[in-house]
Chain A
């Protein structure tokens, strides 16, 4: 369990170390204040995973360093019950002249394990790394992926109550990343708390129970991963937006207020959104592998020279299943005058596996390049939710969607066998 209250951290940037002394002697300010964190508070309960997202420079790494005790905050307090282990950057305290095995002992000691504990867990740690005999080689011969494997294995086996993971996991091949994810889930299930800093939005959506969005040292929003990441994307879109009108972001608020999160310049309005079956009736659930029709109407509140309309389908965790727009599809649209309404009709063969899916709508103007727009006018997440139920006359499968496989099984003839 971690409880963080009103943490603030300011870095003082001096032009030269001598200025620091000058300040103490002459009592005049010789430094520049950089506010890294301001008034940050949150709580992570046992077994919970907290994600922290934000742009580079938002304060994420500083926050992790304060949590692991490497930096001291200017204000605020931290309550942690139990050991906290961080995986900040690769090779924490590794000595590159020593072998992997020696570093297990050294790093293990730094992470709070005593000699007997490390001796006991030594084999488990080595097995997890899958480094084989490389464990006896000096780590200066290791690749960054191998270093990560070693670092992660040691950190995990230190059995902390709380585990801090920084971008370190982005190095390493897919196989090992997945192995780490599985181990992290095991850790979660045994009651450990995790604080996870990442730019991999899908990983955050899948692993985290709650997420914090940091921007310039402040918590901008704090809530369910899907909503926070939507907000984050809204912020990024806002920065990519080249139009004149400012993009406004509205958050999804629990219970009260709008039930969808929206990013909008308020130059277009979504009038209606319907999901219809073949007979034109509105549906809330549908069998998989049926054709559905989506109709939505958009009203232009200003003149749009080259408007394009998009559709985005996401699963219950907010992970994107499919998204595209008229520009990416190569469809020509026509300019809209102020006050005009465009009606969009989408037809989709919904091959998705059973589950809950949400539909989002986007409107943008003036496309360029492969998939970019000059003006991002509107993005509404989760406008409608649709439940997809299994199709009884289809095959049994699991995964994201039905790839409609064809398979043949033949008996092998005896002549072919004798060739081997």
Chain B
């Protein structure tokens, strides 16, 4: 299956999700930005949350943003990849597509949204005087590992969603909980000791904490847990591909 086809799908994904509407592709960026705006205004201004050890009014807002932008990319990729065979049923059941590489277009489309919103975030950081450190060069690597994990897990689930449609709803709920089990809104430091210990088992913690390290604390992210995450992602990809080969026939029959 050629790369061109997948990129074409990704492009369509961005433009066509809102085809027929006036604002069109811009809607893609409005949701995450609105999220960030609400959290920042409510928490920073209304609730007066501040980041301990930082004098800037907006540092808490930035802390939130640094977590939400990647989380959006991660959860959207995971959710949409897991339901891709159902969503794109009208294509898959009529035209021959390579089912294992087909869902990649989702990861690519979410990446575009990610980099655009990240760009805006960087501009805000610079304008506000908060500044950025050279560690931001690690962001692409961090993002790659994160997306590998999202895609692998999404693909694994997508195989089973075809047979058990309820999984689709369950993923939504799991992601809701997952969001709150990851220190995006609250700080890692406020957690009790036992929570900090088990938090390392949360794969999302690895990359979210990584972004926060880079943007807020201007440090290097914890490379050790990132490596474990990368390894986990590879294992999941292998397993899901293996299971897919076994079940491809049944998947095609069921769609």
Question: Would A92 and B163 count as touching, CB distance under 8 A?
Answer: no
Residues of B within 8 A of A110 (CB): 91, 95, 97
Q: Which residues, 3 to 40 on B, are CB-close (under 8 Å) to A?
A: 4-5, 8, 12, 16, 19-20
Query: In terms of DSSP, what is the predominant structure of the interface of chain B?
Result: helix
Among A14-22, A194-202, A211-219, A252-260, the stretch that binds chain B is A14-22
Question: Would B93 and A21 count as touching, CB distance under 8 A?
Answer: no
Q: Which residues, 107 to 125 on A, are CB-close (under 8 Å) to B?
A: 109-111, 114-115
Question: Would A93 and B164 count as touching, CB distance under 8 A?
Answer: no
Question: Would B12 and A17 count as touching, CB distance under 8 A?
Answer: no
Q: Which residues, 79 to 98 on B, are CB-close (under 8 Å) to A?
A: 90-97
Known: A97-B19, A109-B8. Contact between A69 and B96, CB under 8 A?
A: yes
Residues of B within 8 A of A95 (CB): 16, 19
Question: Would A93 and B91 count as touching, CB distance under 8 A?
Answer: yes
Known: A74-B249, A109-B8. Contact between A17 and B95, CB under 8 A?
A: no
Find the B residue at minimum CB distance from A93. B91
Instruction: Report if A43 contacts B (CB, 8 A).
Output: no
Known: A93-B95, A111-B95. Contact between A70 and B252, CB under 8 A?
A: yes
Find the B residue at minimum CB distance from A138. B20
Known: A11-B253, A109-B5. Contact between A70 and B16, CB under 8 A?
A: no
Interface string of A95-109 (1 = CB under 8 A from B): 101100000001001
The complex places the Cα of A18 from the Cα of B253 at a distance, in Å, of 16
Out of B8, B19, B95, B248, which one reaches A72, CB within 8 Å? B248
Find the A residue at minimum CB distance from B255. A70
Query: Count the A residues whose beta carbon is within 8 Å of the partner chain — how many?
Result: 27
Question: Would B94 and A21 count as touching, CB distance under 8 A?
Answer: no
Find the B residue at minimum CB distance from A74. B249
Instruction: Report if B196 contacts A (CB, 8 A).
Output: no
Nearest-Cβ distance from residue B86 to partner chain A, whole angstroms: 12
Question: Would A72 and B93 count as touching, CB distance under 8 A?
Answer: no
Question: Would B163 and A93 count as touching, CB distance under 8 A?
Answer: no
The complex places the Cα of A74 from the Cα of B90 at a distance, in Å, of 23
The complex places the Cα of A138 from the Cα of B16 at a distance, in Å, of 13
Residues of A within 8 A of B90 (CB): 93
Question: Would A93 and B94 count as touching, CB distance under 8 A?
Answer: yes
Residues of A within 8 A of B252 (CB): 70-72
Nearest-Cβ distance from residue A267 to partner chain B, whole angstroms: 46
Q: Which residues, 1 to 55 on A, are CB-close (under 8 Å) to B?
A: 11-12, 17-18, 20-21
Known: A88-B94, A95-B16, A106-B12. Contact between A71 and B4, CB under 8 A?
A: no
Find the A residue at minimum CB distance from B165. A17
Instruction: Report if A402 contacts B (CB, 8 A).
Output: no
The complex places the Cα of A47 from the Cα of B165 at a distance, in Å, of 45
Known: A74-B249, A93-B90, A97-B20. Contact between A114 and B4, CB under 8 A?
A: yes
Out of A21, A71, A109, which one reaches B163, CB within 8 Å? A21
Residues of B within 8 A of A391 (CB): none
In the complex, 26 of the A-B residue pairs with CB atoms within 8 angstroms, ordered by the A residue number, are A11-B253, A12-B250, A12-B253, A17-B163, A17-B165, A21-B163, A21-B164, A68-B96, A70-B252, A86-B94, A86-B95, A88-B94, A92-B94, A92-B95, A93-B91, A93-B94, A93-B95, A95-B19, A97-B19, A97-B20, A109-B8, A110-B91, A110-B95, A111-B95, A114-B2, A114-B4
Residues of chain B whose beta carbon lies under 8 Å from any beta carbon of chain A: 2, 4-5, 8, 12, 16, 19-20, 90-97, 163-165, 248-250, 252-253
